[in-house]
Chain A
Amino acid sequence: MTAQPHTAAAIPEAELHERIVKYLSQQLPGATDLRLEGIQRIAVGWSHETWLFDAYWQEAGTARNLGLCLRRDPGGTLLRHLSDLDVQFQVLRCLEPTPVPTPKPYWFESDPDVLGAPFLVMEKVPGVCPSPWGREGRRFYEDAAARGELPLSFTDTLAALHNLDWEAAGLSFLGVPGAGNDFARREVAKWRELISVCEQPPDPVMTDLLCWLDANAPETERLVLVHGAYRTGNFLVEDDRVTALLDWELQVIGDPMYDVAYVLSELNREGSELLSYVVDRDTFYSRYESATGIEIDDEVCRYYQLLYAMRSAAFWMSASGLYAAGRSADLRLARTAWSVPTVLERAARDLGY
């Protein structure tokens, strides 16, 4: 049996472009001679498929154009049980009038007949998004850190996110945790669910980690909008400023230390003194605390760093499970089977064994 790369209908790239033109023409009444230019397909394989392009058209005798980004849900991807394009679209809509820099969302289409799978169309925001996992990307962030602007913008953007009045922005639909340690326990339960759908035999170290996380869930004093993966590589940068926060796949109403712990995590700065390869610890602490009035609690961050370790292991279990089940033909996913013990070993050391 041949493994299928994904469950979305396989549509040749040229036909897909034609279908996008047809769809956009329907969304832009009065548009004629619509065409796409500069089409780039990026971020192939791991999560949602993404295309960037410029749409040009005529409207009432005037030439118009719009830079667009289209994300399609290929189905059967990583985080497939946690991430939904419809939710992403709603979150972007809620964030549009707020100080949090995000791409303007235009359309969400749930009908798989249009492009073979549900998709959303949003603004193509100017900026670059180098991956911090490669040498070039790290150099980009370290050079920007030396110039001094990006570390401040990085910190200010997180502060803006955590200062957001999420209720007023209409984000309560994400689910509001109860008092006490409800948030942390909900998060653990959510990832337990992902692990259970991986249908892999239980791993005793993972079981210990999950039980420890449940037993030691901290109380949340202030609820904020948490991005869930706030680090370099998940936002666009132009002129040393964050122009758009991307990857709205794991956002949740919860503890601000959840995001702060991710910034502090060694997983996101291997071999660098700079948090997330871009900001020094003192600058981040003082600027974040002063902008939000939230004191960073190192002990709570330690808890969330262990939760991230569990999340990473669950993520790799899900990835390798997709390959093993024949739902992906991408060998990078198969490789992640051996990332599970590596992440769990680090968590075990943090737990003292």
Chain B
Amino acid sequence: MIGVDELLARMAATLRQEIGPAVPDAYPRTQAFMAAVVLEKLSGQLRSAAEDARAEQDDLRLLASDLAVQLSEGPCPPELSATAAELAGPEGRTALSRFIEALYTSSERLGPARFEALRARVRQTLRADLDRQVRYAA
């Protein structure tokens, strides 16, 4: 059976090459071409969705483990260690946002060096996440 991503890509091609050019009015014609763009993006996103989800989970697990080590190297605000522990769980992405909020809130207590080190480690994960998203979004 044809893959969903391939089906969407073919539908996009039909919209772009057959349907769009046959629509006489400007607004619906633009919408037909825009539908083709949306389907192309969806197709690309779906194609790598499983692999990206696995990579994201792996990255978050590794981040949780690295942060646990970094946070154990000195006094640690409890909300930071609690949120860091959730990164490897099913809501890891949401937990990462909460961790970042807590990190900035705790920056004075952590001191500039520890804050910078923790943020740099978090940003390594954010960069990998962005690279995956930009592959199909750009």
| Tally of A interface residues using CB under 8 Å | 28
A334 at the B interface (CB under 8 A): yes
B138 A335 Cβ-Cβ under 8 A:
no
A117 to B126, CA, bound (A): 43
Q: What's the nearest-Cβ distance from chain A to residue B34, in Å?
A: 4
Question: Contacting B34 at CB < 8 Å: which of A331, A341, A345?
Answer: A331
B129 A338 Cβ-Cβ under 8 A:
no
Residue-wise, chain B 99-138 has the 8 Å CB interface mask toward A (1 for contact) of 0110110010000000000011011101101100110111
**Which of A204, A215, A345 lies at the interface centre, i.e. has the most chain B CB atoms within 10 A of its CB?**
A204
Q: Which of A158-209 contact B (CB under 8 A)?
A: 201-205, 207-208
A31 to B103, CA, bound (A): 66
A341 B134 Cβ-Cβ under 8 A:
yes
Please judge, given known A-B contacts A335-B34, A353-B123, whether A211 and B133 are in contact too, CB under 8 Å. no
| Count of inter-chain pairs, beta carbons less than 8 A | 76
Q: What's the nearest-Cβ distance from chain A to residue B120, in Å?
A: 8
Q: What's the nearest-Cβ distance from chain A to residue B66, in Å?
A: 16
A99 to B103, CA, bound (A): 47
Interchain residue pairs with CB less than 8 A apart (30) = A201-B93, A202-B94, A202-B97, A204-B96, A204-B100, A204-B129, A207-B96, A207-B97, A207-B100, A207-B101, A208-B100, A208-B122, A211-B100, A211-B101, A212-B104, A330-B31, A331-B34, A332-B31, A334-B34, A334-B38, A335-B37, A337-B41, A338-B136, A338-B137, A339-B137, A341-B130, A341-B137, A342-B134, A342-B137, A342-B138
* Interface pairs A-B: 3 shortest CB-CB: A202-B97, A341-B133, A211-B104
